[in-house]
Structure 1
């Protein structure tokens, strides 16, 4: 039996709907790319300039640095004790 009117197509989209859908997909892809770039490819970390406050010569061995580190630790311990007691701190007092 023949129908006088055929069945409508399964998807009825207009050219405007197709254009909007393509635009949405493009925006979604751009947003996904930005998110992935942000989390997976962060900006490279800027190299830090070396501090000259605690500069150690590269050819010094660790055994030569140990006495100096020990003296510094003792000085810090003494400063902490004096701070707890409310006393003024200077290097001259600790020698």
Structure 2
């Protein structure tokens, strides 16, 4: 089989996209590894319930507190720590 230039370009572009996806997943995995299990659990639940994108519309910390069985203060402090860790890792 002889590869045509357009096929080579397509294959190269596909490989590049695969490499980008792999690098993105590795970076994401590394970034999440800096969080404690509790920080990750609370951050994911906050995202799932819509708290991260719209805290007021999601009924905020009260809903998270009920779902996780933790105090609102504990959730707030843990979320702030997790978000700060991620920001420091990405920006610094």
* TM-score over 0.5 (shorter chain): no
**Structure showing the higher helix proportion among its residues:** 2
Which structure ranks higher in relative contact order (CA pairs < 8 Å, sequence separation ≥ 6)? 2
Structure exhibiting the larger radius of gyration computed from Cα positions: 1
What TM-score, normalized to structure 2? 0.30
What TM-score, normalized to structure 1? 0.29
